[in-house]
A and B are shown apart, each in its own frame.
Chain A
Amino acid sequence: MKEKTQVGDIDRSLYDFRYEENEGDFLDRGLTPQIISEISDEKNDPDWMREFRLKALDIYNRTPMVEWGASTEGLDVDNIVTYIRPQSRMNTDWNNVPENIKETFERLGIPQAERESLAGVGAQYDSELVYHNVRSEVAESGVVYTNLESAMHDERYAEIIRSHFMKLVPPTDHKFAALHGAVWSGGSFVYVPKNVHLDIPLQSYFRLNAKGAGQFEHTLIILEENSYLHFIEGCSAPKYYEAGLHAGCVELFVGKGASLRYSTIENWSKNMYNLNTKRAIVQENGRIEWVSGSFGSHVSYLYPMSILNGRGASAEFTGITFAGEGQDLDTGAKIVHNAPETSSYMNTKSISKSGGKSTFRSSVAVNENAVGSKSSVSCESLMLDNISRSDTIPVIDVKTDKCDVGHEARIGRISDEAIFYLTSRGLSEQEARAMIVRGFADNVSKELPLEYAVEMNNLIGLEMQGSIG
């Protein structure tokens, strides 16, 4: 008799290592105006930012939690450390980074990736950037890639930061946007001048090492007319039994004719609440491409939003979500067509196994003035057992007749015929299943640079480990 597939424990040792922290560096847990002012003191915030943080805290306290989505019952924000003093100031020389932090990023392969395939790297450890560097030829082309705090204090960029910071995602957007506005720390500022085309990507890596802490980095990217950038974001944390929180924010401004590809491989540990907000606004003939792989976290709320504000602007979202034991990953995307002849394409895959729950949630809004616009949404879900759950909740909201909007979705399991075929060719059932799942995920992996596609395939391999026929 054919046995049911069993899935064993997952080896996450590559990501699941940690170093003891000095708790004297932690600010008090919770959220009070005093703690927020202390963060401002630590960061030497300008007056406008001090006021901004306190106003955001007030909005946070007045805003209710959303009535939809995954449960956040296990998250006690009053028990989260919102800021950890850095062990050292930000460095541009890898040799000056403290040993334990250096070893952390070396184990994650960040310096090697920088040497081999990146134009610049930023590495955040807990609350602050510890390393930021950009190749000299890239800097000479006028590209700015630094941490947000440095840019805010640099008179060349201070006004740009002030006029763009949390303008796309205002603190009133939702409760965790307000939280972010109050306690944000770290993150990157990227500015690509007109007509500059960066052929190799920039990468930021975010590592949360401390127990019971939150990470609230802010990424602000501005692309001027006809420029191009590929930005890669990676994140991980060791597993603790105490809940951790990631409430980052990404704001992307894509100018006329510019093109931005934003890739994320998210692999937070499975005690993390990943309540992240990402948004892009795209001007005439500009383009935003999101490539997103969600593998980690205990609970995720992640819906990158593209606002197509100029004629001919376009957006593409390619995503995969893999929910395993103890995970409730609520992911998807939002697209707003706000101008004529805009176009969007959404292609997502989700996989649920070992009691994991994945939810695909999306919205496509085509407004009155978006005449001649086109949108297509495709989502597929794969169930690997009958103790898991997979939900698909798309919304299409159309306010003009002069558009074409299409949507299709499918849900199912791995067919017995496919397993039979592969096992008849000499593969074990576990290998056959892993191969089919990798193939299912190829929409994302083929959009990533080779080394990241390999990392993603390894993650799928880890998740599928222990499957026996």
Chain B
Amino acid sequence: MEKTRLNILPVPTFSSLGVNYAEREMQQYETEAIRITESQEAPVRVDVTDSSAFEINASEGRALFVIQYIKSDSKLSVDTSIAASAGARVKLVQVFERLPEAVSKLKVTLADSASFELVQLVIGGGDNVIEDAVILDGARGAFTAELADSLAGSDRLDLNLIAEHRGRKTTSEIHLGTVLSGTASKIFKGTIDFKNGASGAKGSEQEEALLLGNCVRNRTVPVILCSEEDVEGSHGATVGRLDEKHIFYLRSRGICEEKIYELMARSKLMRAVSKIEDEPTKARIYKALGWGDDNE
């Protein structure tokens, strides 16, 4: 099977860093796209075990909450497209649990005053390539993303998120928490693209990466592209170990260093988990992460 270029950085940079694109084999979908509309009961829970395509449509002023729990022992590709009409509100939770090799593509288009909330968790996984492209087409569209990943062993993740601001007064807010250990490797490419005409738009992006091991590799590419004067964009990233002051404080409260790192690793992921208002899904996540019993 031929390899396809995926996760292409919207504006390429120094080739030697290996962040401009990923090359993977795409798996074929065996069935037609699964259609989800707001007429279904919320939340719509979907277990994804094979390569599949999803079409999610939210009509004017309606709300939709979809949870995709993606778990499989074989290679898979997931293609999700979302169209939110004027004033519609869509929330999508995607959980990727220890997939050996996966490609996920998400494309979202927001009309006037539509909003999209993405909660995305990557729990382990041999080699995951995930692309999330959100086009804020209409005026006053809003996009928030709460992303978290926990990678250990030889896990690999290439995550490419693009928020394209086309409409006036659109907003995007992206947060990513990462925990890496073993020889895990992660690339996060987060792009906020202010197109000409997106006056009054605001975008922000923040990444916090906690590294737990001297053989991990964390690559971060927080990009802002701007061809509009009247915008506000910001991004920030902190990468590394725990602050010694924090460790000292917690040690002085009687917590051992191993436990401190465990707590901090949890806190990086909990921010995303806490946005999932669905107890059965939370319980599955806790179990996958090995956080106590299912009811923790």
- Taking Cβ atoms with an 8 Å cutoff, the residues of A that contact B are 66-68, 334, 359, 361, 363, 368, 371, 381, 383-386, 388-413
Chain B residue at minimal CB-CB distance from A4: B229
Contact of B17 among A386, A395, A398, A402 (CB under 8 A): A395
B290 within 8 A of A: no
Contact of B240 among A361, A398, A412, A413 (CB under 8 A): A398
6 A-B pairs with least C-beta separation: A401-B211, A68-B12, A386-B229, A411-B233, A407-B237, A405-B239
Chain B residue at minimal CB-CB distance from A353: B229
**A400 vs B238: C-alpha distance in the bound complex, in angstroms?**
14
Q: Which residues of A contact B218 (CB under 8 A)?
A: 396-398
Interface centre among B12, B225, B240 (most CB of A within 10 A): B240
**A413 vs B228: C-alpha distance in the bound complex, in angstroms?**
9
**A359 vs B226: C-alpha distance in the bound complex, in angstroms?**
10
Q: Which residues of A contact B241 (CB under 8 A)?
A: 401-404
Q: Which residues of B contact A393 (CB under 8 A)?
A: 11, 13, 221, 223
- With A371-B214, A395-B221, A396-B237 known as contacts, the answer to whether A413 contacts B229 (CB < 8 A) is yes
B213 within 8 A of A: yes
- With A381-B226, A386-B228, A402-B214 known as contacts, the answer to whether A395 contacts B233 (CB < 8 A) is no
Chain B residue at minimal CB-CB distance from A386: B229
A-B contact pairs, 25 of them (CB 8 A): A68-B13, A361-B14, A363-B13, A363-B17, A371-B214, A386-B199, A390-B226, A391-B223, A391-B224, A392-B223, A393-B223, A395-B221, A397-B219, A400-B216, A401-B214, A406-B236, A407-B222, A407-B238, A408-B234, A408-B236, A409-B222, A411-B226, A411-B231, A411-B233, A411-B234
**A394 vs B19: C-alpha distance in the bound complex, in angstroms?**
11
Q: Which of B1-48 contact A (CB under 8 A)?
A: 11-15, 17, 19-20
Do the beta carbons of B14 and A363 come within 8 Å of each other? yes
Do the beta carbons of B219 and A395 come within 8 Å of each other? yes
B67 to chain A, nearest CB (A): 32
Q: Which residues of B contact A408 (CB under 8 A)?
A: 234-237
- With A384-B229, A386-B229 known as contacts, the answer to whether A67 contacts B12 (CB < 8 A) is yes
Q: Chain A: interface secondary structure?
A: strand
Do the beta carbons of B224 and A404 come within 8 Å of each other? no
- With A68-B14, A408-B235 known as contacts, the answer to whether A401 contacts B240 (CB < 8 A) is yes
Do the beta carbons of B223 and A407 come within 8 Å of each other? no
Q: Chain B: interface secondary structure?
A: strand
Q: Which residues of A contact B194 (CB under 8 A)?
A: 411
Interface digits, B117-142 against A, CB 8 Å rule (1 contact, 0 not)? 00000000000000000000000000
B242 to chain A, nearest CB (A): 9
Do the beta carbons of B196 and A400 come within 8 Å of each other? no
Interface centre among A361, A386, A399, A413 (most CB of B within 10 A): A386
- With A371-B214, A402-B214 known as contacts, the answer to whether A68 contacts B20 (CB < 8 A) is yes
Q: Which residues of A contact B220 (CB under 8 A)?
A: 395-396, 398, 407
Do the beta carbons of B15 and A406 come within 8 Å of each other? no
Do the beta carbons of A389 and B226 come within 8 Å of each other? yes
**A120 vs B223: C-alpha distance in the bound complex, in angstroms?**
42
B14 to chain A, nearest CB (A): 6
Chain B residue at minimal CB-CB distance from A384: B229
Q: Which residues of B contact A384 (CB under 8 A)?
A: 229
Do the beta carbons of A412 and B217 come within 8 Å of each other? no
Interface centre among B194, B217, B220 (most CB of A within 10 A): B220
Do the beta carbons of A396 and B225 come within 8 Å of each other? no
**A67 vs B12: C-alpha distance in the bound complex, in angstroms?**
8
A429 to chain B, nearest CB (A): 15
Do the beta carbons of A409 and B12 come within 8 Å of each other? no
Contact of B229 among A385, A402, A406 (CB under 8 A): A385
Q: Which residues of B contact A396 (CB under 8 A)?
A: 218-221, 237, 239
B227 within 8 A of A: yes
Q: Which residues of B contact A392 (CB under 8 A)?
A: 222-225, 235
Known A398-B217, A405-B237; further 11 A-B contacts with Cβ < 8 A = A68-B13, A383-B228, A386-B199, A395-B13, A396-B221, A396-B239, A399-B217, A404-B238, A409-B234, A411-B224, A412-B231
- With A381-B226, A386-B228, A389-B227 known as contacts, the answer to whether A397 contacts B17 (CB < 8 A) is yes
B183 to chain A, nearest CB (A): 10
B212 within 8 A of A: yes
**A393 vs B217: C-alpha distance in the bound complex, in angstroms?**
19
Q: Which of B238-263 contact A (CB under 8 A)?
A: 238-241, 243
- With A68-B12, A363-B17, A401-B216 known as contacts, the answer to whether A386 contacts B237 (CB < 8 A) is no
Chain A residue at minimal CB-CB distance from B226: A390
Chain B residue at minimal CB-CB distance from A303: B14
- With A68-B12, A395-B220 known as contacts, the answer to whether A411 contacts B232 (CB < 8 A) is yes
Do the beta carbons of B232 and A409 come within 8 Å of each other? no
